[in-house]
């Protein structure tokens, strides 16, 4: 059993904890949090040992009636791997702590790429992370693009990717975020950071990305163009994408018109927290025009990196090869 | 003076009426409406003669205390040109009426292209409409794309256009429209109707468009890619676009981040109804990567076709050439 510590128990950390718990070959040592809140209460409720991330504030958990198992240092010391799911920028500051205890660490896509030895997407470059000390699971959008680009590159070759990412303004729980009734180029400058980030996975890929922000909270939406090196017909590409285990090709018969219905579908299927771990790609949108491929895909920003974190745990500990790991993760989660 | 009748006094009709009234060489004969409401009240308030569009319902205006000058047939009979600003699909049904009185007519972009002899954008194909009987001013999005494509074609040649149109769900007054907190591919199939519609202006243009719908009401946002036949640098293209009278290149110093601030800017400038008749294109977004040009532009769906309708009046009556008409329209409106 691989002993996994989770440092940071917010949107990503709580999901990764549950996903790790559900695997046959790993377990959760505990989860670390800076302060008590409804998520900390639920961590205890779910039986996770709770560690205080900041020594000075550790007493606040007791004040709130939540028992802690110690400080984050103790969690790191006991873990074979730490998944750092702290807010963007904090992961880089935690590096030193993980090195102090010689515990390999997995960071999230909010950190700069140079926080880690390798940026990671299970479908695209699992082997690069085998035995590494510091691995960064790329962000939700980069994960979604990498999953799509990898099979297209293998099957047809990719000349250029051009993608517009229409991003949700904030997550459903982030009531301090906007916009309301506005559409913003974000950033105004082109490319957005997503293109260079995808290049951390595919260094030689020619990709331009444009970002926007809109008043929605449920998922991101990608408008994708890929100029291929071949001219496949749309049905062939759709079949190729449908074979990918972390791409759901949404059939027209389901009558799913947008992100709201995708989330309803996930909830109806009993998915924990209504999570959609896979890229949700509209089958009817798959179009080819000569060498140009187009599609729409929705990306669930809160959860698509969760299975990637689980695979990164196996890669960093050299516990399984890519195919085994992805199969085990998918099977345990019900992907 | 060209005598212009306005059939339909909603979002577009009321703006076209005011724009026509402000021109030195044309006047408003009257405006026709199907039913009394706040817009009809305002038409009377502004001094426009009000005509009833539906005979059976004409009494409703009197019931609401609004005096009418007659039925729409009388308006058409007295006009040199009619601008049909009725809801999509109604314009086609009105064709017969205009032909009965031998009155040339201008339709809006909600009608199918075959309603008219020519689809019209002043910057791109003014001359095609000179002396025509039926002219269709293309929709807001097609107008915005045509204004951008025309100078790029002339200066550099265009190999291919790929554009994602992130569309507002409804206008500010359309309280029955959605979405709320959702992002939808709209349509799911690719291309959206916009690409073929731009081809009514540039028949030989290679263009693929993708549409989305988001919870916003103020403006549409275009994420534009144009593969040019040359490799200009970004500054050169930005200068070219800034020279276009109906493209506003929004300077970074203004600190305008999205459609909300664009509309605030328009209101602060005293623009009627906060209208933005020009494409609003972020200067900092103008980017070139080899032959690929990129930019973001916002399109005010309620008003960008207004100056085009005014120019179409002059084209259809052969009252001025393109340059004269555009200059006169811009000068009268304060563009």
Q: Which three-class secondary structure state does DSSP give residue B322?
A: helix
Contact A189 B218 (CB under 8 A): no
| B225 to chain A: closest CA residue | A162
> What's the pLDDT score for residue A322?
98
Binding annotation of B for NAD(+):
11-12, 110, 168, 301
**Residues in contact with A323: Cβ distance below 8 Å, sequence separation at least 6, in sequence order:** none
Which residues from chain B sit within 8 angstroms of residue A260, using beta carbons? 179, 181-182
Query: How far is residue B320's CA from residue B318's CA, in Å, rounded to a whole number?
Result: 6
Query: Do the strands B220-228 and B247-250 form a parallel or antiparallel pair, or are they unpaired?
Result: unpaired
Considering only the beta carbons, identify the residue of A185, A287, A298 that sits closest to B285: A185
Q: Which domains does chain B have, with CATH numbers?
A: 2-138+305-333 (3.40.50.720), 140-299 (3.30.360.10)
Range 254-293 of B in CB contact (< 8 A) with A: 257-260, 282, 284-285, 287, 289, 292
The pLDDT of residue A306 = 98
The confidence band for B327, taking pLDDT boundaries of 50, 70 and 90, is: very high
Which residues fall within 8 angstroms of residue A101, CB to CB, at 6 or more apart?
A73, A76, A77
CA distance B280 to B176: 27
Pairing of strands A105-107, A2-7: unpaired
| pLDDT tens-digit series, residues B230-278 | 999 999 999 999 999 999 999 999 999 999 999 999 999 999 999 999 9
Q: What are the b/e assignments for A135-155, b being 16+ CB within 10 Å?
A: bbbbbbbbbbbbbbbbbbbeb
| Pairwise CA distance, residues A120 & A309, whole Å | 9
What's the gap in Å between the CA of B32 and the closest CA on chain A? Answer: 32
Q: Which residues of B70-96 are buried (b: 16+ CB within 10 A; e: fewer)?
A: bbbebbbbbbbbbbbbbeeebbbebbe
High-pLDDT (> 70) share of chain B, %: 100
According to the model, what pLDDT value does residue B134 have? 98
Q: Which of A184, A190, A257 comes nearest B184 by C-beta?
A: A257
- The answer to whether A140 is a known catalytic residue is yes
Please indicate if any CB of chain A lies within 8 Å of the CB of B227. no
**Over chain A, what is the mean pLDDT?**
97
Count Cβ atoms below 10 Å from residue B257 Cβ, excluding itself. 18
pLDDT band at A50 (very low <50, low <70, confident <90, very high): very high
Tokens describing residue B312: 């179409």
Q: What is the ipTM of this complex?
A: 0.91
| Three-state secondary structure of A28-53 | EEEEEECCCCHHHHHHHHCCCCEEEC
**Chain-centre distance of CA A21, in angstroms?**
17
Q: What percent of chain A has a predicted confidence (pLDDT) above 90? A: 100
Q: CA–CA separation, A127 vs A29, rounded Å? A: 26
What is d(CA B127, CA B83) in angstroms, rounded to the nearest whole number?
Answer: 18
Query: Mean pLDDT over residues B119-133, rounded?
Result: 97
Averaged confidence pLDDT in chain B: 97
Q: What is the pLDDT of residue B207?
A: 98
In angstroms, rounded to a whole number, what is the distance separating the alpha carbons of residues A306 and A266?
A: 15
The whole-angstrom separation of Cα B310 and Cα B210 is 29
Q: Any CB–CB contact under 8 A between B190 and chain A? A: yes
Beta bridge partners of A291: none
| Chain B closest-CA separation from residue A198 CA (Å) | 17
């Amino acid at each position: 059993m691989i002993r996994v510590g989770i440092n940071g128990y917010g949107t990503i950390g709580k999901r990764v904890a549950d996903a790790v718990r559900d695997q046959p070959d790993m377990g959760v040592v505990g989860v670390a949090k800076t302060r008590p809140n409804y998520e900390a209460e639920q961590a205890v409720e779910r039986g996770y040992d709770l560690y205080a991330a900041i020594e000075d504030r550790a007493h606040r958990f007791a004040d709130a009636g939540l028992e802690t198992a110690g400080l984050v240092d103790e969690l790191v010391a006991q873990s074979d791997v730490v998944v750092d799911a702290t807010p963007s920028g904090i992961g880089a500051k935690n590096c030193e702590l993980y090195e102090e205890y010689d515990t390999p660490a997995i960071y999230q896509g909010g950190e700069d790429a140079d926080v880690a030895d390798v940026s990671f997407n299970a479908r695209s470059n699992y082997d690069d992370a085998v035995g590494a000390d510091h691995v960064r699971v790329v962000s939700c959008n980069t994960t979604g693009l990498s999953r799509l680009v990898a099979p297209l590159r293998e099957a047809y070759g990719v000349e250029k990717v051009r993608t517009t990412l229409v991003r949700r303004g904030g997550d459903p729980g982030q009531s301090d975020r906007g916009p309301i009734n506005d559409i913003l180029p974000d950033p105004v400058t082109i490319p957005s950071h997503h293109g260079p980030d995808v290049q951390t996975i595919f260094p030689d890929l020619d990709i331009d990305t444009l970002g926007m922000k809109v008043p929605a909270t449920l998922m991101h939406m990608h408008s994708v163009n890929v100029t291929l090196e071949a001219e496949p017909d749309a049905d062939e590409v759709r079949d190729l994408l449908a074979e990918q285990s972390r791409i759901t090709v949404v059939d027209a018969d389901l009558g799913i018109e947008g992100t709201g219905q995708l989330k309803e579908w996930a909830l109806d299927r009993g998915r924990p927290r209504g999570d959609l771990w896979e890229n949700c790609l509209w089958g009817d949108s798959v179009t080819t025009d000569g060498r140009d491929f187009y599609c729409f895909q929705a990306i669930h920003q809160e959860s698509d990196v969760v299975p990637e974190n689980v695979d990164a745990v196996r890669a960093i500990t050299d516990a399984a090869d890519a195919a085994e790991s992805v199969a085990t993760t998918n099977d345990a989660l019900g992907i």
